Structure 1
Amino acid sequence: MSQKVKIIYLEDELKDVELVEAQLISEKYPFILKHVENKSEMLAELKKAGCDIILMDYSLPAFDPLETIDELKITYPDTPIIIISGTIGEELAIETLKSGAIDYVLKHRLVRLTSAINRALQLAKEKQKRRQVQEILRISEERYRLLAENVSDIISKHTFSGEYVYVSPSSEEITGFAPQELIGKNCYDFVHPDNVAQVKKAHQALTKNDAASAVEFQFRCKDDSYIWVETKSRKLKPDPESKEPTVLSVTRDIRERKAFEEQLQSSLYEKELLLGEIHHRVKNNLQIISSLLNLQAMRIDNPEAKDVFQKSVARIRTLALIHEKLYKSDNLAEIKFVDYAKSLARGLFVAYHSPESQISLLVEGGDARLGIDKAIPCGLLINELVTNSLKYAFPDKRNGTILINFQDLGESYCLTVADDGIGLPENFPSEDTMGSRLLRALTDQLEGKMEIDRSKGAKFVITFSKKSPKPKYQI
């Protein structure tokens, strides 16, 4: 111990003071001793300079040691007291210890003094730490209580079995129950029967980890009506008294939010019905246009003009089929593209009178879904390429296969249309033909890249990003 211990010694016999000093010096104990002869001098010295420890003779004239100890405990609670006496019985010794003295040392056994002082200082230090911790806890509890009693949400604490231990005053405003009407009751008794299992599951999850849980349920109010609330809970450390872990919950009234969600859901349902009807009507209108063009084509004798009409009809049917798929889909914004490609290709086989027994159709791919902004250009690409294969790849009723493959590559999609026919002409793609210009325009619309393989028949590979194409023009 490098720092000297400051001692106040209340003793009326100077000889006894000298014996105490001699004992401490003999043990090379670092100390500063202030001798006082009566209670008044001791209190004056304490007020003036304080001390680390008080040594006190038990038997002084006109002096009540127990009363003095009680006073010192109030005024100087962190200063330890040791009784030094020549004659003190066991009963008196126990009484002084109960009053607040740390220890007692007999004058004829001063060899115990240094160890008693060290022990008293250590106990005082621990006591001071406990007092500081208790003060911090008290301030923290006051802040917590102030917060809990002034927020609009209900703050509560309950055991894992469900018994309320604490409920904030806001419970009365939200549920009609005053805090004292809920404390001691089981929280699950106020949960709607349909939600009890869900709430218990959320609380049980807290026993397995320290993460917070959140659950929405209906709470029974004092008037027996139910309101929607959201509760966020977290496990607390075991209570020092009950040694049982508890759950801290913050419960919020979400009636307005629920009403808004229901209104939003209703509005969304109405918009889905409207959008479905729009797709249905667009499909019908496109089919009418297609039928009118077909009727017109039947009156045309010029083969080239008739071919133009047939291609226009096929392109319109391609668009109509997309709207039909969207109308029948559970998702009005996207379609399963492979299903759409199968329907589109089979329609082209029928239109060009090419039975699948002569030319095989193979459509491959997963369950990827495309929005209308990508499905339309992809559908038109399939229409152009499959039409060309049916018309030109298999002359003289040759057998063969047309392949459509659609793959999800993670960041992008890949559409492949291929056939094992006679191959492409040398000048393909030509700048002059409508079909070539349309293929390039549709690929550009997808912001994609087209590769052509002529090694075995004709193979077109179009790769494009999943991101929506940027608008070409901005206003």
Structure 2
Amino acid sequence: MLNDILNVIARIPNEKKAKLYSFSFLVIGILGIIIVNKLSIFIIQNTEHKDNPILPLLIGISFFIITSIFLYYFLKSIAKIEKEAKEKLIQFQKEESENLKLINFVLDNTADAIYWFRFNGSIVYVNNRLCKMLGYTKDELIGNNITIIDKKFSEIEKTIIRKERQYNYFESELTTNDGKTFPCFIAANYFSANENEEFVCAFARDITEQKRKENIIKSSLEEKEILIKEIHHRVKNNLQVLSSLLSMQKRRETNSEITNQLDKTRSRIYAIALVHEIIYQGDDLRFINMDQYLTKLSYAMKDIYNLDENIKIEISVSKKMNLGINYSVLTALVIHELLLNSIKHAFKNKDEGIISITIENNNDDVIFEVKDNGIGCDIEKLKNSNSLGWQLIESVVEFQLDGNLEISSKDGFSCRVTYKLVNNDED
């Protein structure tokens, strides 16, 4: 307990400690006089030494000697504890000073500019990096308003002050001493030093070079996109030239079988050319919107084969059904051949009918079906036929799409194809 008392005393400031010592001596002196006086009177009155005048003096001297010895060790212990406490304090202050130097060195030499400001915009701290970036001294910035270096303070940093998020990342612009601005990526968060003071700590990194490279890449990508669109445009035009040549050749032919084959070839060319047309007209060079594609294909097929108005073509495409160019071309070829088959053969003895085309995706699986309510066909005969169209369908589905082919001739004819997408976005 004595050590606890001494430790408490050691933590008392020197001025108060001196007063405590003086008061302690005064109290002990007064108590000593009272105790010695009472003890002397008691001894004299109750012993055989009533007539001995030296006894009270001896008692008093003994008391003061004992008290002095006690006070000596008491004060010695206090002095020792105080010395140890001072040594620890000096060591702690030295360590804190070294740590502070290290922290300041790190903050001043970091790659990021650091600045703190109060919620009213008053700057309270900046590091050397910020000063070098902006051409200010620390004294010129500290105490100034944040708007001196960040003109967008009212638009961005005030969002932080509203405490919508603890951590905030955004792009802004900092202004140099000579009025120039440059882009920065800023990470900022707010914190409280105590109940009454709140600050925003911001880390800013100059992204001028990054922006320059991004602009170069963006410009390069735009140029490449224009070139790719031009290539698709030229491919489409070349295919259109071939289609026109076939059309001219058809007008010279009198053999119905030849003209029929020329029409098939023209529509096949159009099915491929349409893919390139949609690509160069669209915003995304990677994908084909299958709803748009099938709608245009059906109109073209009606026109090429003079399809009766009573024969309807219905199209159902699941939302966001987009395919890469390779899958688009292969899928288009198969759908074209199936649609052509229905147009040419399904309604020979019927005045009206419906051809339905559906396509959907289930995770990575693509499922499409061409179905009509026509006269149907002999499945075995179809599988064993030497028809170029059917051979094309089987070849594309089995060897290029690695898919599954299902056909049925119940209530008309239907063909269902299922295949799995592999790296659709890279096609």
TM-score bracket relative to the smaller structure: 0.7 to 0.9
How many residues align? The count is: 371
Shift of 1:313: 1.2
From the two aligned structures, give the one with the greater helix fraction: 2
Q: Distance in 1 between matches of 2:224 and 2:11?
A: 86
RMSD: 3.6
Structure 1 position 434 matched with structure 2 position 388 = yes
Structure 1 position 97 matched with structure 2 position 17 = yes
Contact in 1 for aligned 2:379/2:409 (Cα 8 Å)? no
Contact in 2 for aligned 1:445/1:469 (Cα 8 Å)? no
Of the three residues 115, 131, 135, the one matched with 1:156 is 115
Shift of 1:437: 1.9
Determine the structure 2 residue equivalent to 1:220. Answer: 175
Determine the structure 1 residue equivalent to 2:102. Answer: 143
Contact in 2 for aligned 1:421/1:458 (Cα 8 Å)? yes
Which structure has the greater CA radius of gyration? 2
Matches within 5 A, 1:91-130: 96-97=16-17, 107=28
Cα distance change of structure 1 residues 178 and 433 upon mapping to structure 2, 3 Å threshold? same
Determine the structure 2 residue equivalent to 1:203. Answer: 160
Q: Secondary structure at the match of 1:330?
A: coil
Shift of 1:82: 10
Determine the structure 1 residue equivalent to 2:239. Answer: 286
Matched-pair identity in %:
28
Of the three residues 349, 354, 379, the one matched with 1:396 is 349
TM-score, structure 2 normalization = 0.76
Over residues 59-114 of structure 1, what are the superposed CA-to-partner deviations in whole Å (9 max), with x where a residue is unaligned?
xxxxxxxxxxxxxxxxxxx684499xxxxxxxxx995436797x9595559xxxxx
Q: Distance in 1 between matches of 2:265 and 2:111?
A: 66
Contact in 2 for aligned 1:82/1:104 (Cα 8 Å)? no
The one of the two structures with greater contact order (alpha-carbon pairs below 8 A, sep at least 6) is 2
Aligned AA for 2:259?
K
Determine the structure 1 residue equivalent to 2:360. Answer: 407
Over residues 326-356 of structure 1, what are the superposed CA-to-partner deviations in whole Å (9 max), with x where a residue is unaligned?
111122222211111010011111111103x
Shift of 1:406: 1.9
Structure 1 position 174 matched with structure 2 position 127 = no
Structure 1 position 463 matched with structure 2 position 418 = yes
Q: Distance in 1 between matches of 2:410 and 2:16?
A: 109
Cα distance change of structure 1 residues 172 and 308 upon mapping to structure 2, 3 Å threshold? same
Shift of 1:410: 2.7
Contact in 1 for aligned 2:123/2:144 (Cα 8 Å)? yes
Aligned AA for 2:303?
V
Over residues 109-166 of structure 1, what are the superposed CA-to-partner deviations in whole Å (9 max), with x where a residue is unaligned?
9xxxxxxxxxx9xxx9xx99x9799888766544331211112321111122322110
Contact in 1 for aligned 2:9/2:17 (Cα 8 Å)? no
Contact in 1 for aligned 2:161/2:190 (Cα 8 Å)? no
Cα distance change of structure 1 residues 100 and 286 upon mapping to structure 2, 3 Å threshold? farther
Over residues 395-441 of structure 1, what are the superposed CA-to-partner deviations in whole Å (9 max), with x where a residue is unaligned?
13421111111223233222221111111323223363222221122
Determine the structure 2 residue equivalent to 1:361. Answer: 313
Matches within 5 A, 1:295-314: 295-314=248-267
Over residues 214-273 of structure 1, what are the superposed CA-to-partner deviations in whole Å (9 max), with x where a residue is unaligned?
11112111111111111111222x214x73221221111111111111122211221222
Aligned AA for 2:352?
N
Structure 1 position 256 matched with structure 2 position 256 = no
Aligned AA for 1:440?
E
Aligned AA for 1:153?
D
Q: Secondary structure at the match of 1:395?
A: coil
Q: Distance in 1 between matches of 2:11 and 2:356?
A: 101
**Unmatched tracts of structure 1, length 5 or more:** 8-51, 56-77, 84-92, 110-119
Aligned AA for 1:441?
S
